[in-house]
Amino acid sequence: MNTLTITRPDDWHLHLRDGAELAAVLPFTAQRFARAIVMPNLKPPVTTTAAALAYRDRILAALPAGLHFEPLMTLYLTDNTDPDEIDRAMASGQVSGCKLYPAGATTNSAAGVTDIRRIDAVLERMAERGMVLQVHGELTGDVDIFEREVRFIEAVLEPTVQRFPKLRIVFEHITTAAAVSYVHSARQGVGATLTPQHLLHNRNAIFAGGIRPHYYCLPILKTEADREALLDAATSGNPRFFLGTDSAPHSQTAKETSCGCAGMFSAHAGIELYAEAFDTVGRLNRLEGFAAHFGADFYRLPRNQDTLTLIKDNWSPPPSYAYGSGKIIPMRANESIQWRVSPS
């Protein structure tokens, strides 16, 4: 198969940043995806409905003429989130979920939740109102970086799933065979996003030929066995698993430093990389469900009506793209990607 037309996809986990950086990266997503769940970990974080709506306005103002894109907003949960904020978010009609960042787990998560039981009243209100909880699933503290996801399932996620049986939960950017197994067996109302980097690469990519900071993300790339389990889940046709790039832009200088920021920028090839992954196992026929149907169904939103066409045709991303006053290094810079989006 050299050409594939699918329902226009959505990105259910995306970082857009703000200001000049937002303007630099937004077009890549809007050229490919109709909608995206926009993560709230700005500085300061997006903790209120008013802040989310203001951020949405800035995103739409940065959208180039001729592109059609709908940002789906989220709130950043803290120990002090007011349950009434959930009501305000639902009333706005523009907030699609609330993000749980365990404090210290990833970029701009210092203000996150220190103990999930501190927000029980918020989670109860979310369950009552039908608001989705989006979970960064890593246990913080003195925990091996390669075991944080598995430990989080045991210590935090499963107890929360059981305590709030009506709460809809997205286990974001899963990275392990254990997480795949958990999502398969969890009660109804639990889904998961999967990223292109975790479907295409294992942890060896971080160290191939020396330390490669542009392959450093959180959760970190895992083993080859984990990658294979993730790819099998993504291509299985199981509607619990859906697309979320976790494209997370950082400037070249922020990545190539002694404390290099975690995150991989993939928006420039956000759907093409998934096509490559699905093609490796001969399951391109299942890409449409994963990319365009299952996430919309989980969030109880209508599926898109327009289409996007992919062509099997090798191309190489450039060494960098402009990013505010600096540059950003894209995933697969100067390397080959096997699929491209048709310009028509």
C-alpha to C-alpha distance for 316 and 166, rounded to whole angstroms: 45
Nearest to 70 by CA among 44, 96, 108: 96
What's the confidence (pLDDT) of residue 82?
Answer: 97
Alpha-helix residue ranges (DSSP H) falling in the chain: 19-30, 49-62, 83-92, 120-129, 148-152, 158-163, 177-185, 196-200, 224-234, 252-255, 272-280, 287-288, 294-298
What's the confidence (pLDDT) of residue 258?
Answer: 84
What's the confidence (pLDDT) of residue 140?
Answer: 87
- Which residues, at least 6 apart from 7, have a Cβ–Cβ distance to it below 8 Å? 288, 292, 293, 303, 304, 305, 306, 307, 308
Catalytic residues: 246
What's the confidence (pLDDT) of residue 1?
Answer: 77
What's the confidence (pLDDT) of residue 259?
Answer: 81
Nearest to 118 by CA among 145, 100, 136: 100
Cβ(248)–Cβ(273) under 8 Å?
A: no
- Which residues, at least 6 apart from 38, have a Cβ–Cβ distance to it below 8 Å? 14, 15, 16, 55, 56, 59, 71, 72, 73, 74
pTM of the shown model: 0.96
Delineate the domains of the chain, giving CATH numbers in brackets: 9-305 (3.20.20.140)
Each of the 344 residues of the chain gets a pLDDT tens digit; together they read 799 999 999 999 999 999 999 999 999 999 999 999 999 999 999 999 999 999 999 999 999 999 999 999 999 999 999 999 999 999 999 999 999 998 876 666 678 899 999 999 999 999 999 999 999 999 988 899 999 999 999 999 999 999 999 999 999 999 999 999 999 999 999 999 999 999 999 999 999 988 899 999 999 999 999 999 999 999 999 999 999 999 999 999 999 998 889 999 999 999 999 999 999 999 999 999 999 999 999 999 999 999 999 999 999 999 999 999 999 999 999 999 999 999 86
